[in-house]
Structure 1
Amino acid sequence: MSYKNFPMVPRVVFGRGSFNQLSEIITPKRLNPDAPFIFLVDDVFKNNAWITSRIPLSYDDKIIYISADEEPKTSQVDELVEDIIVTTKERPSGIIGIGGGTLLDLAKAVSIMLTNEGEAKDYQGWDLVKNPAIYHVGIPTISGTGAEVSRTTVLTGPTKKLGINSDFTPFDQVILDSELTKDVPTNQWFYTGMDCFIHCAESLNGTYLNTFSETYGNMAYDLCKEIFLDNTLSDVGSQEKLMMASWHGGMSIVYSQVGIAHAMSYGLSYLLGTKHGIGNCIVFDHLEEYYPKEVALFKTMKSKHNIMLPQGICSNLTDEDFDIMIGVALGLGPLWENALGNNWKKIMTAKKLKELYQKM
């Protein structure tokens, strides 16, 4: 039997205030004065001097502010890459992503596309990337997505929503500074935290489960229960625990896979533009049949934090709309196989999937 030899993030700094070490971390990686560092930063921080004044700019380095209101698209990656190529004298020394999952995924994708020909959509899938990415650093400002540790960069393309899954995707360096998450709004905190919880639920209940995934998954699962059943966001300990839950949750799917909620959430995101975290929550709320214990726990957490999920988002969709969502969701074979086994196509028919979507 052949086992997959997965890469991991080789360097990580953890601790409150560790963002201040960014300059000393990246300075040795500068290729020359004409090869800038490009900082991709969530535009929610545009007027937040507490963060922006600490970004170490020198020479021709630049900050590109990006809205995270929409899920990242392959076309957006292509535009960023073209902009960087046109406006820099030399290939950048590195790409630094500062923000949530959207910004981290964009940073990973841009760093890959600066060294690989064609368009981002050509690399949606598994192990299609030929050349190593340029140096790239991930600095999460919200916890839960696992984007800081995963080997994928989830993108909505012209025909599908699918990640660039490759050995060259993971960051070369991650900085985990929980202080950067202190101003996250409660709803956002819940949705991304539940992304982590759902990662674990799907990994731990999947047919791909192995001891590697299980140990990371159990750790993240238990941390999520602690955070969302016992604590509050303003608690510094909770912020640090969620940062580590995100990391371990991301690690739990490195050697396994996610499942039904993620597959269906991709369909919602592709058709309706539903943000990933909230999409997972909307779907998971209706998956008692597949994850009974975890969905019950999810509903308890939702109630404790007074979270009202959007209702009826699929109520006005046409049959054609449903077919598009179903096509996107069912195109994610490994997720369904992990959730339901080799026989998944007989269990999760288009008719069954449509019935689930119609509840939302």
Structure 2
Amino acid sequence: MQFRNFKMVGYVVYGRGSFNQLDEIIAPHRKAGAPMVFLLDHYFQGKPLESRIPLRGNDVLLYADVTYEPKTTQVDRIASELKEAYGTVSGIIGIGGGSTMDLAKAVSLMMGNTGSSADYQGWDLVKQPGVYKVGIPTLSGTGAEVSRTTVLTGPTRKLGMNSDFTPFDQIVLDPELTKDAPKNQRFYTGMDCYIHCIESLEGTYLNEFSKSYGEKALQLCREVFLEEPHWTDECDDKLMMASYAGGMSIAYSQVGVAHAVSYGLSYLLGTKHGIGNCIVFDQLEEFYPAGVAEFKRMVAKDGYEIPKGICANLTDEQFDKMIDVSLGMKPLWENALGKNWEAQMTRSRLRALYEKL
């Protein structure tokens, strides 16, 4: 049996107010003349968090436009501009939701690798380390803070740069940073965590390592979304740890049907990751009956309505593109359905699933 030699995040600091330690955390990694680059979710432009960023010397503050999920062209442009202006940088620090953290990981990798980030979309294609990178989530749920992937939409596919060089060197988990996020965004991102826990715990890749993290994350999600009033400090604390544990669970196993299908939606329609997973998961009773039933209770408790009919007017060509993107996520399908997944998930079956969305 081949065991995975799992690359984890180097350092983790957790706790309310821990963001205030960022200056001293990154200080040993500063190199003379090479700036630290802070990628800040554009949502925080002009808001109090921006003024708390410890800019020093020739440090660079960039606003990450995450209106749409990160594209390879966006990654390449930022990396190219930084190389041209500074040669190299001391590090990349991503402050925001999953898209901002993915963007930071990708830019870091491209500071140490040649060509386009599209060349590295796949598994273990990255051959050189990037520069020092730090992830600071301001939303809880994606698990991007601990994952070995950075999800990117490229010219032909939506696929991550999955490699041992991708995980952050340092993460700062400060639940205080999530308190002002829009309520619907917090919900959909939290549901991303719940969904990938269900996919991990019911997948064929499941093992005791991923199971232990997945079960804890699932328990915390249930406490937050079924048992407790929103949004209290305690809820924020629990959901941030659920995100971390859920990310650890899928890092040593995989996600499943909801994520594989939602990648197609995102590529074609630009559907945001959290809500895309919810749209798909809402229709997956045949794969995850108990999980979908519980998910619907969480949605009802919070008073949300999951969008329907988003694929109603698509052409055959558009359905084919989504199907191509989705079927390209081979490890996800194998985790969900086993080694013979291709015999089970035919193009016609997947087309019928997309037509329900």
TM-score for the superposition, normalised by structure 2 = 0.99
Alpha-carbon shift at residue 315 of structure 1 (Å): 0.4
Alpha-carbon shift at residue 47 of structure 1 (Å): 1.1
Equivalent residue number for residue 238 of structure 1: 235
Q: Deviations over 1:32-78 (max 9, x none)?
A: 1x100000000110010x21111011111010002211011111100
3-state SS of 1:95 partner: strand
3-state SS of 2:135 partner: strand
Alpha-carbon shift at residue 2 of structure 1 (Å): 2.3
Alpha-carbon shift at residue 85 of structure 1 (Å): 1.4
Measure the CA separation in 2 of the matches of 1:4 and 1:234: 38
Letter in 2 for 1:93: S
**2:82 is matched with which residue: 58, 81, 84?**
84
Matches within 5 A, 1:1-360: 1-32=1-32, 34-48=33-47, 50-88=48-86, 90-360=87-357
3-state SS of 1:174 partner: strand
Q: Deviations over 1:310-357 (max 9, x none)?
A: 221100100110000001001111111110011111111111111111
Alpha-carbon shift at residue 153 of structure 1 (Å): 0.3
- Whether the aligned pair in 1 keeps the contact of 2:224 and 2:239 (CA below 8 Å) is yes
- Please report the RMSD computed on the Cα atoms of aligned residues, expressed in angstroms: 0.8
Letter in 1 for 2:125: L
Measure the CA separation in 1 of the matches of 2:261 and 2:239: 24
Measure the CA separation in 2 of the matches of 1:2 and 1:37: 39
Alpha-carbon shift at residue 232 of structure 1 (Å): 3.2
Letter in 1 for 2:37: I
Measure the CA separation in 2 of the matches of 1:231 and 1:80: 42
State the 4+ residue runs in structure 1 displaced beyond 3 angstroms: none
Alpha-carbon shift at residue 233 of structure 1 (Å): 3.3
- Whether the aligned pair in 2 keeps the contact of 1:257 and 1:334 (CA below 8 Å) is yes
- Whether the aligned pair in 2 keeps the contact of 1:36 and 1:59 (CA below 8 Å) is yes
Structure 1 unaligned regions, length at least 5: none
- Whether the aligned pair in 2 keeps the contact of 1:137 and 1:172 (CA below 8 Å) is yes
Identity of aligned residues (%): 63
- Whether the aligned pair in 1 keeps the contact of 2:282 and 2:306 (CA below 8 Å) is no
Q: Deviations over 1:205-242 (max 9, x none)?
A: 00111000100000001110100001233210100100
TM-score for the superposition, normalised by structure 1 = 0.98
Measure the CA separation in 1 of the matches of 2:252 and 2:17: 31
Structure 2 unaligned regions, length at least 5: none
Measure the CA separation in 1 of the matches of 2:231 and 2:296: 22
- Whether the aligned pair in 2 keeps the contact of 1:150 and 1:170 (CA below 8 Å) is yes
Measure the CA separation in 2 of the matches of 1:330 and 1:232: 39
Measure the CA separation in 1 of the matches of 2:345 and 2:18: 46
Q: Deviations over 1:101-127 (max 9, x none)?
A: 000000000000000011000000111
Alpha-carbon shift at residue 273 of structure 1 (Å): 0.4
- Whether the aligned pair in 2 keeps the contact of 1:198 and 1:280 (CA below 8 Å) is yes
Letter in 2 for 1:46: Q
- Whether the aligned pair in 2 keeps the contact of 1:71 and 1:156 (CA below 8 Å) is yes
- Whether the aligned pair in 2 keeps the contact of 1:186 and 1:233 (CA below 8 Å) is no
Alpha-carbon shift at residue 28 of structure 1 (Å): 1.1
3-state SS of 1:108 partner: helix
Letter in 2 for 1:291: Y
Measure the CA separation in 2 of the matches of 1:220 and 1:196: 8
Measure the CA separation in 2 of the matches of 1:129 and 1:327: 23
3-state SS of 1:137 partner: strand
**How many positions carry a matched residue from both structures?**
357
Alpha-carbon shift at residue 87 of structure 1 (Å): 2.2
